[in-house]
Amino acid sequence: MRAHARQLGDDLDAKGVQHTRRLAEEVAYEQWHRILFTRFLVENDLLIHPESETPIPLDYVEELAAEEGRDPWELAAEYASRMLPQIFRPDDPTQKVRLPKNRVQELERLVLSLDAATFKASDALGWTYQFWQSKRKDAINASGVKIGADELPAVTQLFTEDYMVEFLLHNSLGAWWVANHPDRPLPVEMPYLRFVDEPVEGKDGETQRAPAAGRFEGWPKSLKDFKALDPCCGSGHFPVFLLHLLVPMRMALEGLSPAQAVDAVLRENLYALEIDPRCVEIAVFALALAAWTYPGAGGYRALPRMNVACCGCPSCRRRPTG
């Protein structure tokens, strides 16, 4: 644990005293996120029993844990680690810490009190993390301290609401589709896509409808060659929305099944960077949920390695996470 504290940036002072502020925060976060992420999996029928390979509800996990004399959240995280080893890490030393029972029960009550519909909302993870950071963000802004590496994630992360993401993507990727496939209908509804009337070359007085944002002539003609990079992906909001646009496009153009298109998009189209290692985990988790719950994609299965990485601190133990 001392070595892990130093990995996180806690100092070992000249007197040999190991400071643990970052370590304590990491333990608290990991314990909370294990319970929260587990319920996301449960409510989306994605917590898979390793032997039956079928989704199991939380009450069944509790029964199994009682039989083995174990904590149900720990057992659920063990199952989840087979699905997402980058996020539910069985070798994580912070998971070995045992919090006081009353604190664990408090966390459980908080997570279990939330309506099940919350865990099916596409933006729930992003709002959750912004709420997690809100108290620290207010404290930093009120203190007037110089913003450094420790303070940067909390004060710079702002959740982008759905309509903003959709407007930007509809008028970029959607505009590309219209310009390159004018005779094909949009494969998914894009209510924010804007058009203008432009003159038809060589035909005086005639106009044609064209995407207002332009034709994006410099972009690849094939989506197999298209790469979208979100350089500050936060909780993965833009990549998730891109997946929901690119999958039907690739299905329509390439004749792929939903599962094939999802895998192709994850493998070839989506790239993301983030300075906050916790957001990297959330972004990967959000993309995995989107992939597994995409209509017709077949639910849980092994996914391609995701092109999502932490670019924040060189000593961070969470290297490329995808």
pLDDT, residue 60, reads 94
Chain segment 183-198, per-residue pLDDT in tens:
999 999 999 999 998 8
**Structure-block tokens of residue 229:** 């990079």
Query: Does residue 5 belong to any structural domain of this protein?
Result: yes
Q: Could you tell me if 10 and 316 are in contact, meaning their C-beta atoms sit under 8 angstroms apart?
A: no
**At residue 298, what are phi and psi to the nearest 5 degrees?**
95, 10
What's the alpha-carbon Rg for the chain, to the nearest Å?
23
Residue-wise pLDDT for 100-111, tens only, equals: 888 888 888 988
Mean pLDDT of 30-46: 88
Is the residue at 154 inside a domain? Answer: no
Q: What is the DSSP string of 158-208?
A: -PPPHHHHHHHHHTTHHHHHHHH-TTS--SS--TT--EEEEEPTT-TT-EE
Considering the domain boundaries, does residue 291 fall inside one? no
pTM of the predicted model as reported, rounded to 2 decimal places: 0.84
Domain that holds residue 93: 1-120
CA 71 remoteness from chain centre: 27
User: What is the tens place of the pLDDT at every residue in 81-139?
Assistant: 888 887 887 778 887 788 888 888 888 898 889 898 888 887 787 777 777 666 766 67
Could you give the CA distance from residue 88 to residue 40 in angstroms, rounded to a whole number?
A: 13
Is position 106 within any domain? yes
How do residues 253-291 score in pLDDT, each as one tens digit? 999 999 999 999 999 999 999 888 888 888 999 999 999
Count of structural domains within the chain: 1
Q: What is the pLDDT of residue 289?
A: 93
* Chain CA centroid to CA 202, Å: 48
* pLDDT given at position 273: 94
Structural domain includes residue 262: no
Residue 136 confidence (pLDDT): 65
pLDDT at 135 (0 to 100): 72
If one counts every other C-beta atom within 10 angstroms of the C-beta of residue 306, the result is 23
Closest residue by Cα to residue 313 from 1, 2, 81, 6: 6
276: tokens are 């906050």
Instruction: Indicate the SS3 state at residue 132.
Output: helix
Distance CA 57, CA 78 (A): 15
Q: Is residue 127 part of a domain?
A: no
Q: Can you tell me whether residue 322 is helix, strand or coil?
A: coil
Q: Judge whether 73 lies within some domain.
A: yes
Cβ–Cβ < 8 Å for 260, 245:
no
Q: Is the pLDDT of residue 203 over 90?
A: no
Determine the Cα–Cα distance for residues 151 and 164; give it in Å rounded to an integer: 26
SS3 127: helix
What's the confidence (pLDDT) of residue 121? 82
Q: Is the dihedral of CA 24, 283, 132, 139 positive or negative?
A: positive
**What pLDDT, on the 0 to 100 scale, is given for residue 318?**
44
Residue 14, domain member (yes or no): yes
3-state SS class at 301 = coil
Phi and psi, residue 144, nearest 5°: 75, 15
Q: What is the mean pLDDT of residues 20-30?
A: 85
| pLDDT, tens digit, 9 for 90 and up, residues 62-73 | 999 999 998 888
- The residue behind tokens 């294990």 is 34
